[in-house]
Structure 1
Amino acid sequence: MIHTLDMDPLLVLQVVLYTASFICGIVTAVLVTIVQAQNEGKCLLYGTLQYDNSTATISVTSSGDPSVCNFAMAIPVCVTVFCFSLICYSCVCGQGSGGRLCVNITLGMSGLLMFLLIISGCLLKIGRDKLCESLPLPQFNRCDDAQNVQWDISKSGSRFYTLLHSAEISVWVNFFCLLFVGGLAIAQCSPGTSGGGGRATRCHRGGRGRRR
């Protein structure tokens, strides 16, 4: 039987955070994919741009390692799969199911994914900054100014900075969503938690029931 909104408010908030994290994972992967598609599948992170004064165009003289972009996309996708599984589990099993083992698995996976999201966010931030540093001054005082300049005939830089910046923001939002999810999981299994007493009791009894 699928449970409805008679759930504990903490569990409802947890599902909302799962959903937000799920969406952020998709957004990050899509944005990085778009930037790659605009550049013949090449990774712009840690790449080098060159401005040709005679033609007033920008070209990509070197691209980053494809594994960097693949990692930056793969981790949010893993978070998306993880959160989708938890959304389905929470909606079907509802409050009080799974016991302490389920909570420990959730905390462990959330911690691992948060660590990987930090790496993914840093790759996006530092890789984008390295790309922007290759643009010459004073033609480009701001990196996003390069979006308004024509790129060479084989590539398109349309909104590359905006897309990569948005992907980075999405990663950090994803990180904080998982952080709050972990905090709520602990709160739901803590004795005396307001509104979650039944769930706390189940969490602590989950192991004792198996010893009988």
Structure 2
Amino acid sequence: MPFLVLDIQLVVQGILYLASFVIGFAVSIPLGVTTINFGGQCILYGDVKWQNETFFRYTPTDMHNCNFAIYLNVFGCIFYSLGMVIYHGYAMTRKDPNIGSQMWVMPFILVNALMTVIIFISSCMISVGFKVFCDGLLSGNEKGARVKSCADGQQWDWNRYGTDYTTDTYYTYLAVTQTATWTSFLVWSVQVILGIFRFIRNRPLRSKDQFHDPAPSVDSPGNSKTPADLENFASIQSTA
């Protein structure tokens, strides 16, 4: 069967890039919709100050706290991952079990490592910002508000405080965003590990190609360079 000759690691990495592509939507869309629902304001790190058991003031935070995660996932996870899915998909159509040793490795290790670090920072920003906002709502217990969870705010009428917010989904959407962004971090971490493994695995192959005896010269008596020799020579490419 054609599938059996594929590089299994190549298939796994392609699936991980596809997962990153999908997860990018799971992070950016809920966070973006929540921002829209709060009048174009970022809810992360939002400041909630309770005046009494029934009234509080909400102050939004800088939009950069939300835009960083949104743009990172749109341009980094979605577009970059889509390009890598196409790249790996094309490689798999070659049906060459050695195609993995002929692909670039080191540039993608560096890019993926950078993506992993940035996504980790973004994930921390989302989690901490979400917690700060929820802690503000829960602090109402000190005023006698009896707030059981951060999700309770989805049942309140925020517009009576002079706003025009849609607040019935913010906790659900931010919970999805938080779960998705940490899942994305794990996926990219595995992607980096697999890239390093491929680089290490390909080095013996590259060394073997470099020190392999050259093919007989065309001018040597009784020898001629066959099409197979030319094909093998053309297939030797840098693996880093």
Do the two structures share a fold, i.e. TM-score over 0.5?
yes
| Residues 147 and 203 (structure 1), Cα distance of their counterparts in 2 relative to 1, 3 Å cut | farther
Secondary structure (helix, strand or coil) at the match of 1:141 reads coil
In the TM superposition, 1:10-49 aligns within 5 A as 10-49=9-48
- How far did residue 32 of structure 1 move? 0.6
Q: Could you tell me how far apart the structure 2 residues matched to 1:15 and 1:89 are? A: 9
Secondary structure (helix, strand or coil) at the match of 2:43 reads strand
In the TM superposition, 1:130-169 aligns within 5 A as 130-135=132-137, 136-137=140-141, 138-152=145-159, 154-169=164-179
Q: Could you tell me how far apart the structure 2 residues matched to 1:10 and 1:210 are? A: 19
Name structure 1 gaps, 5 residues minimum: 192-199
Q: Note the alpha carbon deviations across 1:34-89, whole angstroms, 9 max, x for none.
A: 101101111111112356879x6776x21110111000111122122121111111
Number of matched pairs = 197
In the TM superposition, 1:76-155 aligns within 5 A as 76-77=73-74, 78-94=76-92, 96=99, 99=102, 102-135=104-137, 136-137=140-141, 138-152=145-159, 154-155=164-165
Identity across matched positions, percent: 21
Q: Write the letter of the residue equivalent to 2:121.
A: I
Name structure 2 gaps, 5 residues minimum: 93-97, 211-235
Q: Write the letter of the residue equivalent to 2:34.
A: V
Q: Note the alpha carbon deviations across 1:131-183, whole angstroms, 9 max, x for none.
A: 11222114213111111222215111112112112101111111111111122
Contact 2:106 2:199 in 1 (8 A): no
Q: Could you tell me how far apart the structure 1 residues matched to 2:85 and 2:158 are? A: 43
Q: Note the alpha carbon deviations across 1:4-61, whole angstroms, 9 max, x for none.
A: 744212211111111111111111010111101101111111112356879x6776x2
Q: Could you tell me how far apart the structure 2 residues matched to 1:146 and 1:71 are? A: 25
* 2:59 pairs with one of 57, 62, 69: 62
Q: Could you tell me how far apart the structure 1 residues matched to 2:91 and 2:69 are? A: 32
RMSD over equivalenced CA pairs, Å: 2.8
Q: Could you tell me how far apart the structure 1 residues matched to 2:16 and 2:80 are? A: 12
Q: Write the letter of the residue equivalent to 1:142.
A: S
| Residues 48 and 146 (structure 1), Cα distance of their counterparts in 2 relative to 1, 3 Å cut | same
| Residues 149 and 210 (structure 1), Cα distance of their counterparts in 2 relative to 1, 3 Å cut | closer
Q: TM-score, normalised on structure 2?
A: 0.72
Contact 2:13 2:191 in 1 (8 A): yes
Q: Note the alpha carbon deviations across 1:172-212, whole angstroms, 9 max, x for none.
A: 11111111112222333433xxxxxxxx379626995579x
Q: TM-score, normalised on structure 1?
A: 0.81
* 2:70 pairs with one of 64, 69, 73: 73
| Residues 203 and 32 (structure 1), Cα distance of their counterparts in 2 relative to 1, 3 Å cut | farther
